[in-house]
A = this chain, B = another copy of it.
Amino acid sequence: MTRTAERPAGRASERALADLREAILSGDLAAGAHLGEVELAERLGLSRTPVREALTRLAAEGLVALEAHRGARVTSFTPEDLHGIFDVRLALEPRATARAAAHATADDLDALQDLADRMLAVGAPGPDQDLDALVGLNRDFHARLLDLARAPALAAALANVVHTPVVTRTFHAYDPASLARSLAHHAEIVAALRAGDGDWAGAVMRCHLGNARAVMVGSR
């Protein structure tokens, strides 16, 4: 009916998926928000079918919870949940980081270095500090590192856990000292990889995650 000939675009389903995921991760859709299929469909200018498919996939990723005949809700996480999520990250990411040492080429290292440098620049206290830009850079850094591990199963296991809103969104929670540590960790990881020392790199990643958990969940 409504022929919104705005843009031919790619697959509408993937568009809906990406839009919804971004809306959730960015916080536009608050945790616990009531999501109706018709409402979302109208909002995105699509029919219910692709929206429904997107919701199904988001539910599989754990970003939303489907309640029968009651609508879908954005999943909310308790501090215990967050703690558990960091448990998984601590179990997997240091291992992946260690593996990355064996596969990283000079180009890879340069790219990582570049990301680490830019994060240091954007994250440094002062008028130019941009904590929001940090989010994307941080995601890129970790994603690239994970890719270098050449461990698809490990990456898949992590994927359904790291997507969680709070983990990827907040950099504002960091106090100056923790933020400085976090940014330094990135650089140190690159240094360890350059040295070809997987154990070192993995250890830094453990520190990195421990620091992050302390900031976001607090000591337990």
A162 vs chain B, min Cβ distance (A): 10
Point out the residue from B52, B53, B81, B92 that lies within 8 Å of A157, measured CB to CB: B92
A23 at the interface (CB under 8 A from B): no
Asked if A60 is at the interface of the complex by the 8 Å CB criterion, the answer is: yes
A130 at the interface (CB under 8 A from B): no
Centre residue among A53, A61, A95, A151 by max chain B CB count within 10 A: A151
**A156 in complex: contacting residue of B56, B62, B91, CB < 8 Å:** B62
Q: With the chains together, A85 CA to B152 CA distance in Å?
A: 9
Q: Are the CB atoms of A85 and B153 closer together than 8 Å?
A: yes
Copies in the complex: 2
Q: Is A87 an interface residue (CB 8 A)?
A: yes
A105 vs chain B, min Cβ distance (A)? 20
Complex Cα gap A153–B87 (Å): 8
A154 CB to nearest chain B CB (Å): 5
How far, in whole Å, are A92 and B127 apart by their CA atoms in the complex? 43
Chain B positions within 8 Å of A57 at CB level:
56, 60
Known: A61-B60, A91-B92, A92-B88. A160 touches B151 (CB 8 A): no
Q: Are A161 and B156 in contact (CB under 8 A)?
A: yes
Task: Evaluate contact between A153 and B84: CB separation under 8 angstroms.
Answer: yes
| Complex: A91 Cα to B81 Cα, angstroms | 19
- The reply to whether A154 and B56 contact each other, CB–CB distance below 8 Å, is no
Q: Which residue of B lies closest to A91 (CB)?
A: B91
Bitwise interface map of A from 21 to 62 toward B, beta carbon under 8 Å scored 1, else 0 = 000000000000000000000000000000011001100111
Q: How far is the CA of A181 from the CA of B56 in the complex (A)?
A: 41
Question: Does any Cβ of B come within 8 Å of A109's Cβ?
Answer: no
A53 to B61, CA, bound (A): 15
Interface status of A158 (Cβ within 8 A of chain B): yes
Query: In the docked arrangement, what's the CA distance between A62 and B154, Å?
Result: 13
A85→B52 CA distance, assembly (Å): 31
Cα–Cα, bound, A61→B52 (Å) = 17
CB nearest to A58 among chain B residues: B60
